[in-house]
Amino acid sequence: MCRWMAWLGQPVLIEELLFKTQHGIVDQSLHSRMGAEPTNGDGIGLGWYGAGDGPAVYRSVAPAWSDPNLRELAAHVESPLFLTHVRAAIGSPVQETNCHPFRHGRWLFVHNGYVGDFQALRRDLMLAIDPALFPEVHGSTDTEVVFHLALTLGLDRDPIGALERTVGLIEATARERGRAPLVQGTFGVSDGTCLWAVRYATEGRPRSLFASADVETIKGLYPDNERVARLGADDRVVVSEPFADLPGVWHEISPGTAVSVRHGGVLEERPFRPAAARGTVAA
Amino acid sequence: MCRWMAWLGQPVLIEELLFKTQHGIVDQSLHSRMGAEPTNGDGIGLGWYGAGDGPAVYRSVAPAWSDPNLRELAAHVESPLFLTHVRAAIGSPVQETNCHPFRHGRWLFVHNGYVGDFQALRRDLMLAIDPALFPEVHGSTDTEVVFHLALTLGLDRDPIGALERTVGLIEATARERGRAPLVQGTFGVSDGTCLWAVRYATEGRPRSLFASADVETIKGLYPDNERVARLGADDRVVVSEPFADLPGVWHEISPGTAVSVRHGGVLEERPFRPAAARGTVAA
Amino acid sequence: MCRWMAWLGQPVLIEELLFKTQHGIVDQSLHSRMGAEPTNGDGIGLGWYGAGDGPAVYRSVAPAWSDPNLRELAAHVESPLFLTHVRAAIGSPVQETNCHPFRHGRWLFVHNGYVGDFQALRRDLMLAIDPALFPEVHGSTDTEVVFHLALTLGLDRDPIGALERTVGLIEATARERGRAPLVQGTFGVSDGTCLWAVRYATEGRPRSLFASADVETIKGLYPDNERVARLGADDRVVVSEPFADLPGVWHEISPGTAVSVRHGGVLEERPFRPAAARGTVAA
Amino acid sequence: MCRWMAWLGQPVLIEELLFKTQHGIVDQSLHSRMGAEPTNGDGIGLGWYGAGDGPAVYRSVAPAWSDPNLRELAAHVESPLFLTHVRAAIGSPVQETNCHPFRHGRWLFVHNGYVGDFQALRRDLMLAIDPALFPEVHGSTDTEVVFHLALTLGLDRDPIGALERTVGLIEATARERGRAPLVQGTFGVSDGTCLWAVRYATEGRPRSLFASADVETIKGLYPDNERVARLGADDRVVVSEPFADLPGVWHEISPGTAVSVRHGGVLEERPFRPAAARGTVAA
């Protein structure tokens, strides 16, 4: 059920991380090792910050491993901050409007996981979206609804807090509908300057999430590696599952944790606690 | 903004009407003469009744004129009742879930036209859909919402009445939201036995709609035409705009009119009057 | 590198074999057990004989597991003879013209495997295609070239003989170009009346191939199975790998063997021996 | 039968010329005024020089007017030299490998027009391609064959001369096959530094081709235009048909003419004379 990765650091050709890395995200689209399924072949998305206003989003229903346009873009676009997502659909159609990342203004959003009983909750949750944002929902995934709820609940002022309120709202709505609440997964968010990531499951083990170590540590481990030598102090990668090269440099994010990554190599962690909330079910 | 056609009669290879007719619907996808636009290249749909349970629906984002699969299906599927639709998108994405016909159980639904100010009304109208049907809405067109409202308001018992209630509801909702109500277009509906069509606009001239004359009339006009000779008493075609061959056999449906077509060559017309209704805007 | 299946027997809804069978071909597109790769997600093709002239061919670049049109067709088309193929591309682009089955007149052709060093041999082999057939080559797979060579060398008079000559020609061409010859795989061919299949590798173990047992044997093994009870004396399935239900009813075709299946439940085997030939390299 | 445009000049966001220009190429995909057909909806291609090695090529079978990815790329990629092509297919399938521009190394190639009787000549012409280049032909258009012939005949040393030899070869081959030779159209070529364009027809009027005037002339005509004020001395556009804004600034290229555009605003014209040649038909 999906894999994603995010880069924040010096500007790089995107292919460095998508195609020139062992067991990178494109390889994970075909051979994921830690996902719920090995195959993530139901579409691809790439969002990046660079030239032009706001982030660009490329989305395709082709599997990542066979999409020639993804390969072209990756080989010819440089960016200091990008997110890539490969999708394993669970119920909703394979169409571009269901591919991540989702975008609003400067914001990009990706998700690996699912909202339990989403079909039963979808109407309630869509009603809780700010009516001004409602027309922007074009697809049928749970993620797009989660994103628009987070925007409704203050994503642009307080990303982690908004996600805590969103998850709290979804869990409360499920309970009020008599369902066992279940929000499962990892989230990635950016505004083009910072990167936030969350690992959380209402119950059970959440999907995996890792961040790369700080660059000094990596250089200490691999003093002679040419790729490592090019890393700058700014560079961080957040991933659903580690790339294969450079074992030892990956730091697993604990369940129930939110991460903030900023330029300068800053990575901060804090607990992720869904905000107690009343759900969306009208009395 | 779209063209459609429907056949009810003897079983025929679908290509007879899609590809072997002068200025048939596939030609209309590239060169419509009476539509709002000459080009209807934003996807294709074909729904037919035949083998298997309920209707089949083939939908593709390819333009009808270049889709090899449409040509294959048309040349190899026989059906006594089918609807085809070529789309000209106005705002919503080109994706299969936005292609007509829409389906629910035995029902198929196509539309040519639009709901005025749909983005402003979409949320209210989606809330008026029966919650049990809500999860079936996968795309982002006005038509899909109209269809699910009609299902909510009794399509399966009284198709024309349900459409009158649906249009009345949409117009009332627009007024309550302070918008000038505007439902524009033609609708085609079938349950696999009968075919219903509506031509209506809240204001102004509605999109065009035609039905073929009864077979005796056609045979009188074209006593020596080989294709006409093969027509049976059952056969009727309803179209957004006439095929080019057989001029004189097309009967224009008047604005504000609903048509019912049944086996035996029966075609009945009645006025189409949106039912006065309160809209969906909560007090 | 691809999986395929073929049905010859009583007319059935295609979904019976594609979707209502444990570990059928659609499941094999995602989770092949005996293929070179578990994933066969680079396009789908379905060719069937039924209404209209000659076989119909539906081809799509969508993975079989997520293609809603494939599901629709399978649920609404009946056929007494059809072939389905799921593709794992090895080098050539994912496009409809590279999807199997390939068609010429009444003939359909599928392949699982590859021609070794194809890029180096492609020009020579294309020159050996009957110039009258040359314009029909629209894609860039080895299979399409193999098919047109077989048509050139008498497929319509002697299918197995033509394939023996084709494989012989390819092997000779490779040798003359100083390459180690390698034709690897299984082939499936039909003219709408009979079905032929070949399992062969120049060297090493060829891709797997199985045929279902005769119906009496299957009924003896599963006297109480409802699906088995519906089988008629005519019914045979040829598959790259067995469906999961009904263990014991699958007969492995030996390497270097050609199979002919005809109505009446007839299945005959004979050795497959590439015909010694001069290759296509000009002196 | 296709429209194309090329930009050489200061780096600009591609959308400036694709979407922010009246009657730009994307509008021409739906409403061409000077083409053989108003609709060029059979795929889109964009090739640009910028970051990474060599040119990038984005190709899609979606019509240009509805492709969200094209809009994204155009809004977020800057380039000093790019070519865009919208396709109207005449016979060959709608697939990415049939979309222009075609690429080899640093070279990009687009075409508007056709080779007469191409199906009859295709085999001969493909045989004339350098065998080392043969494996790069993945599609089935005449243009891809023309490009690989031009590469075979010295495109990288002498682009116009190579095209003269290519056209001469095609015409001679047609004559030797007893066909009336006909090469019709315009060609656009770039190596990332210069831009070459040709307008030619063996017989009759060739497809239209225009170049923008030098920047001083444009500024003289439109002293108060804000977009014009931003033009630099380097900037040139070559187009199948003029954009609607800035009438008077377009210079029609004469039939039988080749154009070279270089940085510095240099535009040179010379006659285009196909080189007399023997064709490819073996004696």
CB contact under 8 A, C119 and D135: yes
Task: Tell me how many residue pairs between chain A and chain D have CB atoms under 8 A apart.
Answer: 56
End-to-end CA distance of chain B: 34
Does residue C78 carry a pLDDT above 60? yes
Q: Give contacts of A139 with chain B, Cβ < 8 Å.
A: 140
Q: What is the average pLDDT score of chain D? A: 94
Partner residue facing D52 (CB), from A13, A57, A60: A13
What gap in Å lies between CA C162 and CA D71, rounded to an integer? 50
A276 Cβ contact list (under 8 Å, min separation 6) = A168, A172
A118, closest residue in chain B (CA to CA):
B135
D90, closest residue in chain B (CA to CA):
B66
D89, closest residue in chain B (CA to CA):
B66
Query: What letter does residue A37 receive in the DSSP assignment?
Result: S
Least confident of A104-108, B219-223, C129-133: B219-223
- Hey, is the C-beta of B57 within 8 angstroms of any chain A C-beta? no
Q: Give contacts of B92 with chain D, Cβ < 8 Å.
A: none
- Hey, is the C-beta of B275 within 8 angstroms of any chain D C-beta? no
Mean pLDDT of all residues in C80-90:
94
End-to-end CA distance of chain D: 34
Q: pLDDT tens, D36-77? A: 788 999 999 999 999 999 999 999 999 999 999 999 999 999
CB contact under 8 A, C89 and A68: no
Distance (Å) from the alpha carbon of C244 to chain D's nearest alpha carbon: 36
Does residue A248 carry a pLDDT above 70? yes
Q: How confident is the model at residue C279 (pLDDT cuts 50, 70, 90)?
A: confident
Sign of the four-CA dihedral A60, A66, A68, A72? positive
Per-residue pLDDT at D246: 77
Task: Tell me how many residue pairs between chain A and chain C have CB atoms under 8 A apart.
Answer: 28
- Hey, is the C-beta of D30 within 8 angstroms of any chain B C-beta? yes
- Hey, is the C-beta of A48 within 8 angstroms of any chain D C-beta? yes
Least confident of A135-139, A154-158, B18-22, B278-282: B278-282
Does residue C244 carry a pLDDT above 80? no
Does residue B1 carry a pLDDT above 70? no
Least confident of B99-113, C21-35, C59-73, C133-147: C21-35
Window A:4-23, CB contacts with B under 8 Å: none
- Hey, is the C-beta of B97 within 8 angstroms of any chain A C-beta? yes
Partner residue facing B95 (CB), from A95, A131, A134: A95
Per-residue pLDDT at D82: 97
Mean pLDDT of all residues in B132-149:
96
Contact status, residue C116 vs residue C182, Cβ threshold 8 Å = yes
Partner residue facing D76 (CB), from A13, A50, A60: A50
**Across-strand partners of A197?**
A188, A259
Measure the CA angle with vertex B109, ends B106 and B113; round to 5°.
175
- Hey, is the C-beta of D137 within 8 angstroms of any chain C C-beta? yes
Distance (Å) from the alpha carbon of A57 to chain D's nearest alpha carbon: 6
Does residue B128 carry a pLDDT above 60? yes
Sign of the four-CA dihedral C15, C20, C26, C32? negative
Does residue D120 carry a pLDDT above 60? yes
Mean pLDDT of all residues in B79-90:
95
- Hey, is the C-beta of D136 within 8 angstroms of any chain A C-beta? no
Q: What is the average pLDDT score of chain C? A: 94
Helix, strand, coil percentages (3-state) for chain C, rounded to 5, are 30, 30, 45
Partner residue facing C42 (CB), from A39, A61, A66: A66
Mean pLDDT of all residues in C264-274:
95
Distance (Å) from the alpha carbon of C270 to chain D's nearest alpha carbon: 36
- Looking at chain C, which subunits does it touch, using at least 3 CB pairs closer than 8 Å as the criterion? A, B, D
Structure tokens at B105: 């159980």
- Hey, is the C-beta of D139 within 8 angstroms of any chain B C-beta? no
Q: pLDDT tens, A12-39? A: 999 999 999 888 888 889 888 888 788 9
Least confident of A1-5, C12-16, D109-113: A1-5
Distance (Å) from the alpha carbon of B205 to chain C's nearest alpha carbon: 36
Per-residue pLDDT at B70: 97
Q: How confident is the model at residue A275 (pLDDT cuts 50, 70, 90)?
A: very high
Beta strand D250-252 pairing with D236-239 = unpaired
Q: pLDDT tens, C151-196? A: 999 999 999 999 999 999 999 999 999 999 999 999 999 999 999 9
Q: How confident is the model at residue B243 (pLDDT cuts 50, 70, 90)?
A: confident
D62, closest residue in chain B (CA to CA):
B62
Q: How confident is the model at residue C282 (pLDDT cuts 50, 70, 90)?
A: low
Q: Give contacts of A140 with chain B, Cβ < 8 Å.
A: 97, 137-139
Contact status, residue D42 vs residue D90, Cβ threshold 8 Å = no
CB contact under 8 A, A75 and D52: yes
Interface pTM, i.e. ipTM: 0.94
* Cβ-based burial of B23 (10 A; exposed 0-12, middle 13-18, buried ≥19): middle
What gap in Å lies between CA A178 and CA D62, rounded to an integer? 44
State the CB neighbour count (10 A cutoff) for residue C5: 26
Mean pLDDT of all residues in D240-267:
91
- Looking at chain D, which subunits does it touch, using at least 3 CB pairs closer than 8 Å as the criterion? A, B, C
Per-residue pLDDT at A282: 64
Mutate to test the interface with D, among B32, B72, B94, B95 (most CBs of D within 10 A): B94
Q: How confident is the model at residue A90 (pLDDT cuts 50, 70, 90)?
A: confident
- Hey, is the C-beta of D52 within 8 angstroms of any chain C C-beta? no
The single-letter code of the amino acid at B45 is: G
Does residue D283 carry a pLDDT above 80? no
Torsion, Cα B150 B153 B158 B162, to 10 degrees, reads -50
Percent of chain D past pLDDT 70, that is, above it, reads: 99
* Cβ-based burial of B250 (10 A; exposed 0-12, middle 13-18, buried ≥19): middle
What gap in Å lies between CA A248 and CA B165, rounded to an integer? 65
Distance (Å) from the alpha carbon of D179 to chain B's nearest alpha carbon: 28
Q: How confident is the model at residue B247 (pLDDT cuts 50, 70, 90)?
A: confident
Mean pLDDT of all residues in C232-250:
88
Q: How confident is the model at residue D282 (pLDDT cuts 50, 70, 90)?
A: low
Per-residue pLDDT at A252: 96
Distance (Å) from the alpha carbon of A51 to chain D's nearest alpha carbon: 5
Mean pLDDT of all residues in B228-247:
88
**Across-strand partners of A3?**
A86
Task: Tell me how many residue pairs between chain B and chain C have CB atoms under 8 A apart.
Answer: 55
CB contact under 8 A, D39 and B41: yes
Q: How confident is the model at residue A1 (pLDDT cuts 50, 70, 90)?
A: low
Q: pLDDT tens, B151-167? A: 999 999 999 999 999 99
Query: What letter does residue A232 receive in the DSSP assignment?
Result: -
Q: Give contacts of A103 with chain B, Cβ < 8 Å.
A: none
CB contact under 8 A, B56 and C76: yes
Distance (Å) from the alpha carbon of C141 to chain B's nearest alpha carbon: 19
Tokens 């010429």, located at residue: C104
- Hey, is the C-beta of A131 within 8 angstroms of any chain B C-beta? yes
- Hey, is the C-beta of A90 within 8 angstroms of any chain C C-beta? no
Percent of chain B past pLDDT 90, that is, above it, reads: 78
Per-residue pLDDT at D162: 98
CB contact under 8 A, A66 and C30: no
Q: Give contacts of A56 with chain D, Cβ < 8 Å.
A: 72-73, 75-77
- Hey, is the C-beta of B211 within 8 angstroms of any chain C C-beta? no
The single-letter code of the amino acid at D51 is: A
C77, closest residue in chain B (CA to CA):
B51
- Looking at chain B, which subunits does it touch, using at least 3 CB pairs closer than 8 Å as the criterion? A, C, D
Per-residue pLDDT at D273: 97
Q: What is the average pLDDT score of chain A? A: 94
- Hey, is the C-beta of B39 within 8 angstroms of any chain D C-beta? yes
Q: Is C162 helix (H, G, I), strand (E, B) or coil?
A: helix
CB contact under 8 A, C69 and B53: no
| Prior bond of C101 cis (ω within 30°) | yes
- Hey, is the C-beta of B138 within 8 angstroms of any chain A C-beta? yes
Q: Give contacts of C76 with chain B, Cβ < 8 Å.
A: 48, 50-52, 56
Structure tokens at A234: 């700014």
